[in-house]
């Protein structure tokens, strides 16, 4: 800018250019994601992506990480993560209607991990429940790699009329800039820069600037903003996130090609003696910034009052392209808004890490074959990565709004849209171990998992959002994992026609115990033309035939759940996802549901065929029995392979569906040349697989329906 | 059996940290006909009966308060 | 009131979040939904009032503690004392106990967790405007979603509630530690009812059940509509 | 302007009334290696700055505590 920046200007740059805001390392790589599509109304670049879903309706959605804040203060970290993503959706003008959370923790054998897990779940619920947006799905996994560095990714979906879409770009010289919501305090000063540091002993002491969420204020903010938008009182709207006023104002100005002047002494403050730079970068929660025509300002402030919110005119839109900070009538800082919005980018060389070649390859021959498969199945079902998530989503209000058609517990959640036949489905997935063993394949498999989960419900996947949780990109391994996972995800999204319309990056997820598994998480939404035509994994009728569709029997133990849980090994390279088959079979299953031919479907994923069958039994409370003949077939692993591989091996591109016998011919016709096999029948009071497995429903339940939390855990506190 | 001590622990939000409860109560008071209240802060009161005070401070740090957002004080009341 | 469309008011406090659900369901009941804003001391001549669930004033201090002082509560208390049908759902139940329109209090769930689930309850009395259309002893499956649903009343009060048949709904599986498995109670006049479960959430076959709608429509029967 | 008084209000569950929070804390202590704690009760601490103490008792009775389940005490601390 041709002169030495002042301290205030420096702090603006430092917060804006930190990874958290500027995507220094990831921006060039993100270009690989497809982001176009016939349904896309808004791709990356706005507060959230938006896709059209029919009848004049659109969905705005985005996923965001709050990993570091949650590692330091789990309850508030998770809560403010939820609050933040809700405001991104609100900024598009949409009413937030669904939340999902994607979580990672170290093993629950460690007290600190139990504490983080408990308080994060409480934080997600504490905020989401109070603000009245149902938490309808998510996922959670436990692994050593996340000890001390939990992952907390929150996704929000908003519903909006296509015509009512809002944008954040400021316009109209002389228009006023209004700050709505709560007062500004010293919350998270330098939090934005902190969020991209590695966690160290020292960062533990940064606690004093922890941000505390106020879901009550957020609820008022949602209703107030939607009312203002409904009455056409706003020119543009933007949430305040990392870097507070600085990023919001500069982004609004830059995208509108105008300037914005902020008078810091007009900002309502919570504490005295705040410096202008503190006001500019404060990350106080529950605030939105709006551009308003002068003659509407008074009405806007009145509305804020009606909703018990603080509202104040804090600046104006100017024709110069600068973000100007004014204090007591004096300009104390001037920065071209574009400078702030466009941080410099780094491109790095991609070098294959040596660890990938050191991962022991898997030769099943030297794996001992289990004696007792009943025990193996129960051990799998009770494992913290496979057991029921009820003890988590039972703490989340997943029904408020009265639109939840398929609640948590199925492969994805299904929501209706009142006054239409339309519905949408949403799922969040991540595959950290797979991405560690094979970054590119794992990246693709992450997208595949979400695509499959939506298809199981009968929804047509239309677009995705993502959260890229990685270690340090300044280390070759970290950068390789980032680049390769993105490549794999991009290929899958390309193949599936599901553009990535929004996302978020969280790098430097490392502690003195090392880096996390590379863990991109994907949130995908799908459309149901008739929301009543959906399926669930639950068996519904005695006597139904159970059919495996796809590659069920060509499964592998490499990097599988079975290998880790039962054989205590993390080895091998999981099979390369077959994108063509995944799409073909997913689309087929979806058509079967849409045509009303099947109402029972589940994908074969972690834990393989036996676990998938057990999940369907547990969901429906009806047993299943392998027909004797076929059991033999399976006992030698669907054609000469190991039994454990046949039961618990993973591969993907495979589903289990159930139909009444009288529709079997119809189904076979519909399946045409697609590999399938009628393997079992719904009936009995447990799971029976030939002479291999025979476990009663009660034992299945006891193993699966585990409470992942200590009973009567006290609130808050800081344990460990 | 050893006679016990009654301990009173007061936990309150750290200075500068947002206190949504206190704020909500304060802004509600005038409507309820209670004027002249300048500030309100809401915290926790914990009362313990213990055999010795040795562990009390550790309990406050590790379980009864959340040092990242709260401060505490404790005293023997009897 | 004959054939006239019943007007049912739904109070909206800051932080209420089931108000829109309640307004929607009133429409499905075949009644006219009227929003009652907390700051307006006016019941807009409604025939019945639903105090919906949510987190009025963030549940700060105690659930319902602040909301009960809202301006709309004055006329609402009058309406209740004159025998007008009032239903408090979840946070609405909490508000009505804080306002002393219903006995007892709702304490923290004993297991210290928010609980969102569907639970079986038994209809203990049909002599209230909100259960008149149900059959005594009938079992319903209703959603619950709360942190403080653990009903408490002094032993004397509790036995009096039992003796006078003022326990309206009883849990068949107790989700929160509630005394005598109480899920809902009514006042002495039996016109004010509070329930922790959310009937409005099961008022639509599209959501798997409309047992809640049957409960809510009782008030129309009572009103002879 | 009138100088203000600092008031401290303590609200606790009435004797004999179930106290899930206190119970949760008590049952968590041993696992953390804290023995010898006989009873734990969790209540609320409310700190006010007021111009006069006239209304304080009414506030406690009507808003800050619920007399049917809680008891309160208040004092001027400065
Ligand atoms: N953290 C969570 N929050 C809410 N719901 C969750 C969470 N974790 C899992 N679930 C729900 O539990 C069910 C099973 O989750 P998961 O095993 O990840 O499904 P899948 O294997 O089909 O992806 C899903 O309905 C999911 O939405
Ligand atoms: Mg699945």
DSSP bridge pairs for B45: B10, D43
* Contact flag D29-B63 (C-beta cutoff 8 Å): yes
Buried b (16+ CB within 10 A) or exposed e, C5-36: ebbbbbbbbbbbbbbbbbbbbbebbebebbeb
- Tell me the backbone φ, ψ of residue B41, rounded to 5 degrees: -130, 135
User: What residues are paired with A141 via a beta bridge?
Assistant: A104
Specify the 3-state DSSP secondary structure of C146.
strand
A125 in C contact zone (CB under 8 Å): yes
| ipTM field | 0.94
For an interface test with D, give the residue of C70, C100, C154 to mutate (most D CBs within 10 A).
C154
Listing DSSP states for A403-436 in one string gives: -EEE-BTBSSEEEE-TTSS-EEEEEEEE-HHHHH
Say how far apart CA C131 and CA C129 lie, in whole Å.
6
CB burial string D15-49: b at 16+ within 10 A, e below: eebebbbbbbbbebbeebebeebeebbbbbbbbbb
The answer to whether residue A342 scores a pLDDT higher than 80 is no
Q: Name A606's Cβ contacts closer than 8 Å, sequence gap at least 6.
A: A385, A386, A560, A561, A650
Which has the higher per-residue pLDDT, A338 or A65? Answer: A65
pLDDT of residue A496: 98
- Spatial separation of the C-alpha atoms in residues A459 and A684, rounded to whole Å: 31
pTM of the model: 0.94
- Classified as helix, coil or strand, A135 is strand
Distance between CA atoms of residues A366 and A372, nearest Å: 18
- Nearest of A402, A434, A406 to residue A418 by alpha carbon: A402
Beta strands in A249-389 (DSSP E): 259-263, 287-292, 310-318, 322-327, 330-336
Instruction: Find the distance separating the first CA and the last CA of chain A, reported in whole Å.
Output: 48
Distance CA(C169)–CA(C193), nearest Å, equals 10
Residue of A66, A327, A602, A638 marked active site: A66
What is the DSSP annotation of A203-263? GGGGGGG-----HHHHHHHHHHHHHHHHTT--SEEEE--TTHHHHHHHHHHHHHT-EEEEE
pLDDT tier at A719 (50, 70, 90 boundaries)?
very low
Question: 3-class SS at C168?
Answer: strand
* Cα C183 from Cα C176, distance rounded (Å): 10
Is D20 in contact with C177 (Cβ distance < 8 A)? yes
Least confidently predicted of A60-74, A178-192, A304-318, C17-31? A178-192
CA distance A556 to A370: 16
Which of A212, A285, A720 comes nearest B69 by C-beta? A212
A22 confidence band (pLDDT: 50, 70, 90): low
Locate A139 and state its tokens: 């996922």
Six-digit token string for A367: 């794996």
Q: Residue B39: what pLDDT?
A: 93
pLDDT score at A336 = 87
What pLDDT digit, counting tens, does each position of A242-257 carry?
889 998 999 999 999 9
What is the pLDDT at residue A16? 72
- The Cα A515–Cα A482 span in angstroms is 12
Rg, chain C, Cα only: 16
Contacts of D44 in chain A (CB under 8 A): none
Buried b (16+ CB within 10 A) or exposed e, A570-588: bbbbbbebbbebbbebbeb
CB atoms within 10 A of CB A705: 14
Q: What is the pLDDT of residue A362?
A: 83
pLDDT tens, D6-38?
999 999 999 888 898 998 899 888 888 888 899
CA distance B64 to C6: 52
Rounded Cα–Cα distance for residues C26 and C42 (Å): 19
Can you say whether the dihedral through the CA atoms of A33, A39, A44, A47 is positive or negative? Answer: negative
Question: What is residue A304's predicted lDDT score, i.e. its pLDDT?
Answer: 98
Q: How many residues does chain D have?
A: 78
Contact C61/B25, CB-based, under 8 Å?
Answer: yes
Contacting residues of C for B20, CB less than 8 Å apart = 58, 60
pLDDT tens digits, one per residue of A606-645? 999 999 999 999 999 999 998 754 554 554 444 456 888 8
The pLDDT of residue A720: 35
Q: What is the A426 CA–ligand 2 centroid distance (Å)?
A: 12
Structure tokens of B15? 């200075």
Share of chain A above pLDDT 70, in %: 92
Greater confidence, A675 or A96? A96
Nearest to A611 by CA among A572, A647, A560: A647
Report B:25-64 residues touching D (Cβ under 8 A): 25, 28-29, 32, 34-52, 55, 58-59, 62-64
* pLDDT at position A636: 46
Q: Tokens standing for A252?
A: 């609004």
> Position of tokens 């023995």?
D35
What are the chain B neighbours of A186 within 8 Å (beta carbons)? 16
Give per-residue pLDDT as tens, A264-288. Answer: 999 999 888 889 999 999 999 999 9
- Residue C36: band (very low, low, confident or very high) from pLDDT cuts 50, 70, 90: very high
Would you list which residues of chain D are within 8 Å, Cβ to Cβ, of chain A? 20-21, 23-25, 27-28, 32
Pick the range with the lowest mean pLDDT from A50-59, A432-441, B23-32, B51-60: B23-32
CA angle, corner A207, sides to A202 and A213, nearest 5? 150
pLDDT at A7: 81
Helix (H) or strand (E) holding A439: helix A439-457
A204: confidence class by pLDDT, cuts 50, 70, 90:
very low
Task: State CA A347 to chain mean position distance.
Answer: 26
Give catalytic status of residue A20 as yes or no: yes
> Is D24–A719 a contact, with Cβ atoms under 8 angstroms apart?
no
A476-498 pLDDT tens trace: 999 999 999 999 999 999 999 99
Concatenated DSSP letters for A248-279? HHHHHHHHHT-EEEEEGGGS-BSSS---HHHH
**In this complex, which chains have at least 3 CB pairs below 8 Å with chain B?**
A, C, D
Chain D residues whose beta carbon lies within 8 Å of the beta carbon of residue A710: 28
The answer to whether the beta carbons of residues D72 and D11 sit under 8 Å apart is yes
Using the structure block, give the residue that is written with the tokens 């049957």: C214
Integer Cα distance of C139 and C172 in angstroms:
9
Answer whether C105 sits within 8 Å of D21, measured CB to CB.
no
Is the CB of residue C145 less than 8 Å away from at least one CB of chain A? yes
**Is A426 in contact with A168 (CB distance < 8 Å)?**
no
For residue A191, pLDDT over 60 is answered with no
pLDDT attached to residue A207: 37
Query: What's the order of all strands across the beta sheet hosting A423-430?
Result: A404-406, A413-416, A423-430, A519-528, A460-469, A500-506
CB contact under 8 A, C112 and A394: no
| Segment among A46-50, A287-291, A349-353, C195-199 with least mean pLDDT | A349-353
pLDDT for position A273: 84
Contacts of A715 in chain D (CB under 8 A): 21, 24
pLDDT in tens, B48-68: 999 999 999 999 988 899 888
Question: Would the CB atoms of A397 and C114 count as touching at under 8 Å?
Answer: yes
Distance A525 CA to ligand 2 centre (A): 14
Q: In sequence order, what are the residues at sequence separation of 6 or more whose Cβ sits closer than 8 angstroms to the Cβ of residue A393?
A: A135, A137, A138, A407, A408, A409, C116
Atom of ligand 1 nearest to the CA of A427: 27
**For ligand 1, what atom is nearest to the CA of residue A135?**
4
Q: Is the pLDDT of residue A201 over 80?
A: no
Indicate the range of A204-213, A295-304, A375-384, C183-192 predicted with least confidence: A204-213
Instruction: State the pLDDT at residue A13.
Output: 78
Residue B12: which of D32, D47, D49 has the nearest Cβ? D47
A141 backbone φψ class: left, alpha, beta (φ>0; ψ -120 to 50): beta
The confidence score (pLDDT) of residue C146 equals 98
Asked if the model's pLDDT at residue A565 lies above 90, the reply is yes
Other beta carbons within 10 angstroms of residue B15's beta carbon come to: 10
A5-9, A24-28, A716-720: least confident range: A716-720
Burial A137-158 (b: 16+ CB within 10 A, else e): bbbbbbbebbbbbbbbbbbbbb
pLDDT bracket for residue A300 (50, 70, 90): very high
CA distance A298 to A60: 29
Taking the CA of residue C61 and the nearest CA in chain B, the distance in Å comes to 7
Q: Residue C220: pLDDT above 90?
A: yes
Place of tokens 């998270």: A188
Q: How far is the C-alpha of A17 from the C-alpha of A6, rounded, in Å? A: 16
pLDDT at A635: 47
Q: Which residues pair with C54 in a beta bridge?
A: C16
**Ligand 2 centroid – CA A453 distance (Å):** 5
Answer yes or no: is pLDDT of A554 > 70. no
* Nearest chain B alpha carbon to D62: B32
Q: What is the per-residue burial (b if ≥16 Cβ within 10 Å, else e) of A346-381?
A: eebeeeebeebeebeebebeebeebeebbebbbbbb
Contact A382, A703 (CB under 8 A): yes
Q: What share of chain D has pLDDT > 70, as a percent?
A: 97
User: Please, are residues A75 and A119 in contact by the beta-carbon 8 Å criterion?
Assistant: yes
Contact A671, A350 (CB under 8 A): no
More confident residue, C9 or B66: C9
Rg (chain B; Cα; Å): 16
Chains touching A (at least 3 CB pairs under 8 A) are B, C, D
Nearest to A432 by CA among A476, A469, A484: A469
Quote the pLDDT of residue A630: 53
pLDDT confidence of residue C224: 54
Terminal alpha carbon distance of chain B = 17
Q: Is D77 on the interface with C (CB under 8 A)?
A: no
- Ligand 1 atom closest to Cα of residue A449: 23
Would you state the pLDDT for residue A360?
85
> Which of A63, A99, A120, A138 maximizes ligand 1 atoms within 8 Å of its Cβ, making it the mutation to test the pocket?
A138
Contact A697, A616 (CB under 8 A): no
- Checking if the pLDDT of B1 tops 60, the result is no
d(CA A547, CA A530): 24
How many Cβ atoms sit within 10 Å of the Cβ of residue A650? Answer: 26
Is A66 part of the annotated catalytic residue set? yes
**Nearest partner of A516 among A564, A470, A466, A476, judged by Cα:** A470
**What residue ranges line ligand 1, CB within 6 angstroms?**
A 101, 103, 135, 137-140, 389, 392-393, 396, 408-411, 429, 453, 605-606
Confidence of residue A188 (pLDDT cuts 50, 70, 90): confident
Collect all residues of chain C within an 8 Å Cβ-Cβ radius of residue D23: 110
Is C58 close to B20, i.e. CB distance below 8 A? Answer: yes
What percent of chain C is predicted at pLDDT more than 90? Answer: 95
């Amino acid at each position: 800018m041709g002169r030495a920046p002042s301290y205030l200007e420096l702090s603006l740059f430092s917060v804006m250019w930190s990874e958290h805001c500027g995507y220094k390392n990831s921006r060039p790589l993100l270009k690989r994601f497809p982001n176009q599509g016939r349904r896309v109304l808004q791709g990356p670049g706005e507060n959230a992506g938006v896709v059209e879903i029919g009848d004049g309706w659109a969905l705005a959605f985005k996923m965001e990480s709050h990993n570091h804040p949650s590692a330091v203060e789990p309850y508030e970290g998770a809560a403010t993560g939820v609050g933040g993503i809700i405001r991104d959706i609100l900024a598009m003008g949409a009413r937030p209607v669904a939340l999902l959370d994607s979580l990672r923790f170290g093993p629950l054998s460690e007290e600190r991990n139990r504490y983080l897990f408990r308080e994060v779940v409480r934080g997600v619920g504490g905020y989401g429940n109070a603000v009245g947006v149902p938490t309808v799905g998510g996922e959670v996994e436990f692994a050593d790699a996340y000890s001390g560095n939990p992952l907390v990714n929150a996704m929000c979906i908003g519903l909006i009329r296509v015509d009512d879409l809002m944008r954040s770009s400021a316009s109209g010289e002389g228009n006023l800039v209004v700050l709505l919501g709560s007062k500004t305090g010293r919350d998270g000063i330098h939090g934005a820069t902190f969020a991209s540091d590695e966690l160290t002993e020292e960062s533990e002491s940064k606690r004093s600037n922890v941000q505390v969420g106020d879901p009550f204020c957020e609820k008022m903010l949602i209703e107030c903003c939607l009312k203002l938008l409904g009455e056409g009182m706003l020119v543009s709207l933007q949430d305040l996130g990392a870097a507070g006023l600085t990023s919001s104002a500069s982004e609004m100005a830059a995208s509108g090609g105008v300037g914005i002047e902020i008078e810091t002494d007009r900002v309502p403050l919570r504490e005295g003696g705040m410096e202008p730079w503190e006001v500019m970068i404060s990350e106080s929660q529950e605030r939105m910034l709006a551009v308003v025509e002068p003659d509407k300002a008074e009405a806007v402030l009145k509305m804020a009052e009606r909703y018990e919110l603080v509202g104040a005119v804090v600046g104006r839109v100017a024709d110069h392209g600068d973000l100007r900070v004014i204090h007591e009538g004096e300009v104390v800082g001037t920065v071209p808004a574009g400078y702030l919005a466009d941080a410099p980018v780094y491109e790095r060389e991609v070098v294959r890490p040596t660890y990938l070649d050191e991962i022991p390859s898997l030769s099943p021959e030297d794996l001992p074959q289990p004696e007792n498969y009943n025990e193996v199945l129960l051990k799998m079902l009770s494992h913290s990565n496979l057991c029921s998530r009820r003890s988590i989503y039972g703490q989340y209000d997943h029904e408020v709004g009265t639109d939840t058609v398929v609640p948590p517990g199925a492969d994805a959640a299904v929501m209706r849209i009142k006054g239409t036949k339309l519905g949408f489905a949403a799922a969040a997935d991540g595959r950290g171990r797979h991405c560690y063993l094979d970054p590119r394949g794992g990246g693709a498999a992450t997208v595949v998992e979400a695509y499959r989960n939506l298809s199981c419900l009968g929804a047509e996947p239309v677009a995705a959002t993502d959260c890229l949780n990685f270690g340090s990109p300044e280390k070759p391994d970290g950068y390789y994992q980032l680049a390769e996972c993105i490549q794999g995800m991009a290929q899958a999204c390309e193949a599936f026609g599901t553009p990535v319309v929004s996302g978020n990056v969280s790098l430097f997820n490392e502690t003195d115990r090392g880096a996390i598994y590379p863990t991109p998480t994907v949130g995908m939404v799908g459309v149901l033309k008739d929301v009543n035509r959906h399926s669930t994994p639950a068996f519904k009728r005695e006597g139904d035939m159970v059919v495996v569709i796809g590659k069920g029997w060509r499964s592998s133990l490499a990097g599988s759940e079975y290998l880790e849980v039962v054989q205590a090994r993390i080895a091998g390279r999981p099979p390369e996802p077959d994108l063509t088959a995944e799409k073909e079979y997913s689309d087929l299953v979806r058509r079967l549901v849409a045509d009303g031919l099947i109402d029972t479907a589940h994908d074969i994923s972690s834990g393989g065929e036996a676990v998938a069958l057990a999940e369907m039994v547990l969901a429906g409370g009806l047993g299943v029995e392998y027909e004797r003949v076929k059991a033999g077939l399976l006992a030698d692993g669907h054609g000469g392979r190991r039994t454990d591989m046949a039961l618990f091996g993973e591969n993907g591109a495979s589903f289990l569906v159930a139909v009444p016998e009288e529709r079997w011919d119809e189904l076979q016709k519909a399946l045409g040349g697609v590999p399938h096999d009628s393997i079992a029948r719904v009936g009995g009071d447990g799971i029976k697989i030939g002479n291999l497995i025979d476990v009663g429903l009660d034992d299945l339940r006891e193993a699966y329906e585990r409470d992942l939390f200590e009973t009567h855990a006290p609130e808050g506190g800081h344990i460990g | 059996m050893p006679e016990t001590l009654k301990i009173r622990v007061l936990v309150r939000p750290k200075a500068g940290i947002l206190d949504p409860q206190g704020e909500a109560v304060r802004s509600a008071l005038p409507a309820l006909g209670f004027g002249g209240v300048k500030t309100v802060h809401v915290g926790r009161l914990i009362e313990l009966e213990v055999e010795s005070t040795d562990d009390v401070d550790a309990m406050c740090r590790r379980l009864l308060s959340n040092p990242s957002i709260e401060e505490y004080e404790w005293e023997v009341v009897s | 009131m004959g054939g006239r469309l019943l007007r049912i008011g739904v109070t909206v406090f800051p932080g209420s979040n089931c108000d829109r659900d309640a307004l929607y369901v009133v429409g499905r009941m075949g009644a006219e939904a009227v929003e009652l804003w907390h700051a307006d001391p006016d019941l807009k001549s409604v025939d019945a009032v639903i105090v919906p669930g949510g987190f009025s004033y963030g549940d700060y201090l105690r659930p319902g503690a602040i909301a009960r002082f809202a301006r709309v509560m004055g006329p609402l208390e009058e309406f209740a004392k004159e025998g007008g049908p009032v239903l408090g759902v979840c946070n609405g139940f909490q508000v009505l106990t804080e306002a002393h329109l219903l006995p007892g209090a709702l304490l923290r769930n004993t297991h210290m967790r928010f609980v969102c689930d569907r639970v079986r309850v038994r209809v203990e009395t049909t002599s209230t405007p909100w259960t008149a259309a149900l059959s005594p002893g009938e079992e319903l499956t209703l959603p619950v979603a709360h942190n403080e649903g653990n009903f408490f009343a002094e032993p004397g009060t509790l036995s009096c509630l039992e003796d006078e048949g003022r326990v309206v709904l009883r849990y068949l599986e107790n989700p929160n530690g509630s005394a005598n498995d109480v899920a809902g109670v009514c006042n002495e006049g039996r016109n004010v009812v509070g329930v922790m479960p959310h009937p409005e959430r099961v008022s639509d076959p599209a959501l798997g059940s409309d047992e809640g709608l049957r409960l809510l429509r009782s008030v129309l029967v009572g009103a002879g509509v």
